[in-house]
Amino acid sequence: MHSIGAIILPLCFLAAAATEDTVTSETAKKILLSGAAELETAEMIKARITYSGKSGTLDHVWYSHLIGTLNFTVKPVERLLLRGSFEFRQFMNMSGTQYNPAYNNSYNLGDFLNEEIFLREGYARYSLLGNKSVSLDVALGIMPYKYSPEVRELGEFLFRSGTYPFYLLTDFDRPFARLTGLCAGFNYGNDPLDVRLDVLALTEREIRPFWDISLAAVLGVKLFKVIDIGAGIDMAHLFSVNSEVTTPETLSNHFYIYNSDSTAIVDSGYYTFRGTKVMARATVDPFGIVRGEKSVLRDIVGEHGGKIYGEIGIIGLKNYPTSEMINPHGYDNLIERMPWMVGITLPLWKILDECVFELERYPSPNPNTAAWSVVDGLPLPYYKNLTAAYDTGGAYVPRWYWSVYMKRRIFPQFSVVCQLGRDHQRWEMPMNYQTTNYDYEEAMVKPDEWGWHVKTIFNF
């Protein structure tokens, strides 16, 4: 398996050379090869873990990633674009015997190397209408999707969350969702007004229940290059492939509704994965009008500096009652499913191309995990860790997350990215660990838990 990395990365560089040297003018109009080689080093200064039946805290956990991507874009006819991207990822957890034998003795964590290759994106997009101010296109396949341009780590709640149970996801330097399905996008734009409306029909490929169909819509409006507002709705798992999987009618998923003095059962039901998520966002760019003009002010604020933005979501509009045995907090408080975040892009005048600070509030008393969904297929919060000494649930409510993201382009094709903070990062473990000892919960929960990343990127 290790030989895969030795093959893929050289192929990426050879593809770059071929693109520059051998593609004819006619072919270049239709085929474009691109990609990147990334080397990341990171450290969790302090983090929690539940592993092999034990819960506790680890300090100074080092790990690294080697990532190669190879992209191709083909335009066989004027209005049709085909896009594909493959990613090779190699990661190594260095928290075992080589760096701290105590961790290995306590949690059976050894050094391991894991490799994977997957289809990062693959879609076809057809332009039904396109001119200077109006466009209408339809895309089908696996596609990255992002509706808040300024976000660098936190936020993007609509498609990076679970409804029941409520959880949030993040991925370093990949502040987007990877969606599968159909997206129809309409855009109207001129100088004072720009409107974008996306309507999506999506299917679930990553977390159970698989293949259910969700319908979503995202609207964005930009005024005078200064104000950018948006809203969205996602009716998750609206159409079930198997209703018994989307809404398991089992004793372990059953709740009861009692009368006002809790002396008699008046109704009952079952928890479900089906639910509706909504979000609203806004960005204010005080320097938006001058960014396109050559001036000293533009040099100071840069392409991104000075923007203030935020997002709020409701992850599950419908309430469900508590169940003392399986869901002690229930889904009966809408406020506990309303995360919000704010961010600011700092103007640092050519010192950095980007410097972004973000803050997020996670309101739920439940652990931020989809473990019960993945392991047992139940739309319930996971409380296994609450029986341990390390309480990751109600003891830390609300939980606050933060991120400082920095990027600097050294050469046209070479950049350095750095981030420090506390986000929703999970532990990475080999696939064969996932059936028994895998820790599905985020690694950093307490206020004193945080980490950093540094990554170099070569683009071609």
Residues contacting 153, CB < 8 A, separation 6+: 170, 172, 175, 356, 358, 403, 405, 419, 421, 423
Which pLDDT score, from 0 to 100, does residue 49 have?
A: 78
Residues contacting 457, CB < 8 A, separation 6+: 36, 37, 38, 414, 415, 416, 417
Tell me the two tokens of residue 295. Answer: 């001036």
460 or 104: which leads in pLDDT = 460
Judged by phi (left if over 0) then psi (alpha if -120 to 50, else beta), residue 224 lies in: left
pLDDT tens-digit series, residues 357-416: 999 999 988 888 888 888 888 998 876 544 344 455 455 678 899 999 999 999 999 999
Q: What is the bridge-based pairing of β-strands 399-411 and 134-145?
A: unpaired
Helix (H) or strand (E) holding 297: helix 296-301
Confidence bin at 12 (pLDDT 50/70/90): very low
With 60 as the cut, is the pLDDT of residue 433 above it? no
Which pLDDT score, from 0 to 100, does residue 27 have?
A: 44
Which pLDDT score, from 0 to 100, does residue 459 have?
A: 94
Phi (first) and psi of residue 91, to 5 degrees: -130, 150
Q: Whole-angstrom Cα distance, residue 443 to residue 421?
A: 12
Which pLDDT score, from 0 to 100, does residue 9 have?
A: 37
**Percentage of the residues of the chain whose pLDDT score is greater than 70:** 82
Q: What is the pLDDT averaged over residues 424-428?
A: 85
With 50 as the cut, is the pLDDT of residue 180 above it? yes
* Mean pLDDT (the chain, rounded): 83
pLDDT tens-digit series, residues 360-370: 999 988 888 88
Residue ranges of domains in the chain: 131-424
Q: How many CA atoms lie within 13 A of 318 on its CB side?
A: 12
Which pLDDT score, from 0 to 100, does residue 61 have?
A: 83
pLDDT tens-digit series, residues 290-336: 776 676 777 777 778 889 999 999 999 999 988 877 777 778 899 99
Tell me the two tokens of residue 261. Answer: 């003095």
Strand residues in 99-192 grouped as ranges (E): 112-130, 134-145, 161-162, 167-168, 177-189
Which pLDDT score, from 0 to 100, does residue 105 have?
A: 44
Tell me the two tokens of residue 176. Answer: 């987007």
Confidence bin at 185 (pLDDT 50/70/90): very high
pLDDT tens-digit series, residues 41-88: 999 899 887 765 566 788 888 888 899 999 999 999 889 999 999 999
User: What sign for the dihedral angle of Cα 345, 405, 398, 337?
Assistant: positive
Among 310, 313, 440, which residue's Cα sits nearest to residue 364? 313
CB 36 within 8 A of CB 61: no
- For 62, 130, 195, 199, 362, the CA distances from 313, given in Å and listed in that order, are 33, 33, 21, 18, 11
Q: Whole-angstrom Cα distance, residue 305 to residue 288?
A: 10
